[in-house]
Amino acid sequence: MARQFLAAAFFALSAFKLGWLVVAPIFLAAEQRRSDAAEADLRRVCRARQPPWALWRRERLAAECSARALAELRGTQSFPPPSLVLKHQDFPSVLSTHHLGAAVWCGAGIAQFALRRNSAAERQRHRLVGRLHLLGVALLTAGFVQICRHDLHFDRDFRAAYADVPARDEREHRLGVLVLCGLQAWFVLTAGKAWAAARARRIDAHSAWMVRHVASGMWVVVMRALSLMANAAVFALGALGAEPPSGLVKMRIFAATAVAGTLISLSAGEMFARAAELS
């Protein structure tokens, strides 16, 4: 029963992730175009409102008007900012590793859970798909290196979108990157342990380490789901007349979804892994 639930959960989360890879860039690109057009209209309106006799003060007054209007506009927009996803389109090294690796990793994982492995031919197919899954791990790890190399962390998108988000605290940033490196190391380690257990024909250990490995990769997907729910809650409160949260609050909510997604995924993975070891 536990394995069936785990398989269903992995299938649902992987389908969500694969859908996110396809749908999110299209949706967010359209939102970014609407946002850019609205911001351009605001700037034109603010410039037109300034009296011609203001002379040298006209540009400054127009800039102040635009800043106030843009702050109000961005306060009602969704979070995280569209650039959080769209910025990767400017980095082929990230698209060809991180995004391609995510698709390979999820697709191979779904195949491993969905395909039978009773006959010798089916078990051989299971091993081949397992190697494809390891390829996804390698690509994802290379993509993580590229993300760190180009400093594509989420805080820079919030700082670019919202004026109230303070400058980066380098000590806090280094700590966050260190935590992400630890999660990535665990992701690679669990994959290696699962592969080693399979080579040694220790099937229960292989299953347990695969559960831990899946959980170590699925925290991002859980975070995305939590972020969407938080976004929906913000929109619902705004529709009821509540004041839209500031950019800093939005960034903290997004960071909280990352922490919650990590804790939920790793805790559930360890629980199911121990159940697999005892079965």
Average pLDDT by stretches of 10, the chain with 279 residues: 57 62 63 64 61 57 56 54 76 88 85 80 89 94 94 86 83 92 96 94 90 90 86 76 78 91 92 77
CB neighbourhood size of 194 (10 A) = 24
What pLDDT, on a 0 to 100 scale, did the predictor assign at position 259? 93
What pLDDT, on a 0 to 100 scale, did the predictor assign at position 54? 55
Distances (CA, A) of 243 to 52, 63, 64, 72: 35, 24, 22, 10
Q: Where are the alpha helices (DSSP H) in the chain?
A: 2-49, 57-75, 83-86, 92-94, 100-114, 120-149, 154-161, 170-199, 203-239, 247-278
What is the Rg, in whole angstroms, of the alpha carbon atoms belonging to the chain? 23
Place of tokens 């939590």: 226
What pLDDT, on a 0 to 100 scale, did the predictor assign at position 191? 95
Up-side HSE of residue 197: CA atoms within 13 Å toward CB? 18
What DSSP string runs through 154-167? HHHHHHHH-TTSPP
What pLDDT, on a 0 to 100 scale, did the predictor assign at position 133? 92
What pLDDT, on a 0 to 100 scale, did the predictor assign at position 90? 82
Query: Is the Cβ–Cβ distance between 134 and 142 less than 8 Å?
Result: no
What pLDDT, on a 0 to 100 scale, did the predictor assign at position 64? 58
What pLDDT, on a 0 to 100 scale, did the predictor assign at position 147? 93
What pLDDT, on a 0 to 100 scale, did the predictor assign at position 227? 85
